[in-house]
Structure 1
Amino acid sequence: MFVAPAWAQVSGSVGVVSDYRYRGYSLSDDRPAVQGDIEWNANGGFYAGLFASTVRPAYQSSGALWIPYAGFAKRDGHGRSWDVGIRWSHFDSASAYDYPEVHVGVAFRRVTIRAHYAQDYFGDAPGVYVEVDGGVPFAERWQLLLHAGAAHDVETGGAGTRFDVRAGVSLATRVCDVSLSWQGTRGETEYPYYPPWDPYDRGGWVLGCVHRW
């Protein structure tokens, strides 16, 4: 039996969402998805983990998305946490969409900023994605959730830029964190590749229940 060293921590989550929206678009064809995540954190700042979700890419059969990831995060003397990492997105029912992606980011008390780069975004074109996430408590066990992102298709320049937003609330209960948010996107619908979603699906409500440990 393996026993983790005292300086390592393992955390995770499991839950269900009414729609798995990724950067504004649905990867579950507007259907519910079951998701889970497990992460290992070392005292020195290194981390590694695996995220998984059921998906239904456009024009493909149902399957699962597996995202193994790893990185390094370190807090500076001003309370900011700097982060650099890499991950691999693998669709077991549509491997043509697989791609690796690297990121750099910084986290403040309530706001996280990250920039991502993929040479073969969804198996085809290079792309950059910048996002800002925030969480603001406003009552006991309640939190306001905010997100804004911008995706830029390097091959098409500004013509391939599109934006996504997410706004909602979450309630921490004994069973799970319950959240309700509206997620949507706007911008160009034409791409230099076929994405695994419907480009004309511009937004929708998402209800979720996630248990964390």
Structure 2
Amino acid sequence: MLRGRFIRLIVNSSLASAQAQAVEVSGDVTFVSDYAFRGISQTEEAPALQGGLTLAVDSGWYLSVWGSSVDFGGQGTLELDVLLGWSGDIAEGWSADVGIMRYGYPNTEFEGSNFWELYGSVSYQDFTLGLAYSDDYYGNSGKYYYVYAGYSLALTDNLSVDFHVGHNEFSDDSSSSYLDYGVTLSTEVLGLGLSLAYVDTDIKDCKLCDSRVIFGVSKAF
């Protein structure tokens, strides 16, 4: 209940301060050949349809809803997430993004499938460092930290490559902790975003955690 009141207070104060500001609406629809979350397939290595909608104001506050098809072996087919956060410049060349996020699985039946996460990141030019924390991660697995780094390199005006590495730390069971990493090539053709990614983890003997190449096509609006 305390967390829910905290969210309502933030939403109410944010909406009150945004009354005199213009609200920008943006979104996207994406098809990917596999939905990999922190290196692990959420679709049994099958394709996924995804989409998101964001309301943002000039002060940097935003409210987003994002969804994806998933496949947990018959234990759920939909992920639906809600984010409340702030992003913006904090100094010359520096920017930040902080917020709270609820991961929801409306038609998943087992206990602990829904969870909350605090997130934050700081970027300097093309480098990003980030941290996410949950006091009770997916499946009631306890305290969880995700520390990651990324670098985006523009190859041409219409072609970029992004590098990513992240450490997943399970405080209550360190044997479950693992590393994920990947490289993504992105471009735009005829108004469509195209991406080709290589993702992998250091988890052994796990079919859904091994290396793979993922293709994506998206349309922003």
Q: TM-score, normalised by structure 2?
A: 0.83
- Structure 1 residues 62, 185: closer, same or farther in 2, change over 3 A? same
* Amino acid aligned to 1:207: F
Q: Which moved more, 1:131-140 or 1:83-92?
A: 131-140
**Displacement after TM superposition at 1:123 (Å):** 3.1
Aligned CA-pair RMSD: 2.0
Q: Could you say which structure has the higher helix fraction?
A: 2
Equivalent pairs, count: 200
- Structure 1 residues 42, 162: closer, same or farther in 2, change over 3 A? same
Q: How does 1:60-75 map to 2 (within 5 A)?
A: 60-75=74-89
Q: Could you say which structure has the higher strand fraction?
A: 1
For structure 1, which runs of at least 5 residues remain unmatched after alignment?
A: 190-197
The answer as to whether partners of 1:80 and 1:107 remain within 8 angstroms in 2 is yes
The answer as to whether partners of 1:113 and 1:133 remain within 8 angstroms in 2 is yes
Q: Could you tell me how far apart the structure 2 residues matched to 1:60 and 1:101 are?
A: 25
Relative contact order (C-alpha < 8 Å, sep 6+): which is higher? 1
Q: How does 1:166-185 map to 2 (within 5 A)?
A: 166-185=182-201
Instruction: Provide runs of 4+ in structure 1 moved above 3 Å.
Output: 198-201
Q: Could you tell me how far apart the structure 2 residues matched to 1:5 and 1:138 are?
A: 40
**Displacement after TM superposition at 1:130 (Å):** 1.0
- The aligned residue for residue 40 of structure 2 is 25
The answer as to whether partners of 2:98 and 2:120 remain within 8 angstroms in 1 is yes
Does residue 94 (structure 1) correspond to residue 94 (structure 2)? The answer is no
Deviations 1:13-68 (A, max 9, x none): 101000000000000110000000111111112111001000002x3345110001
For structure 2, which runs of at least 5 residues remain unmatched after alignment?
A: 1-18
2:71 to 31, 56, 59: 56
In percent, how many aligned pairs have the same letter? 22
Q: TM-score, normalised by structure 1?
A: 0.86
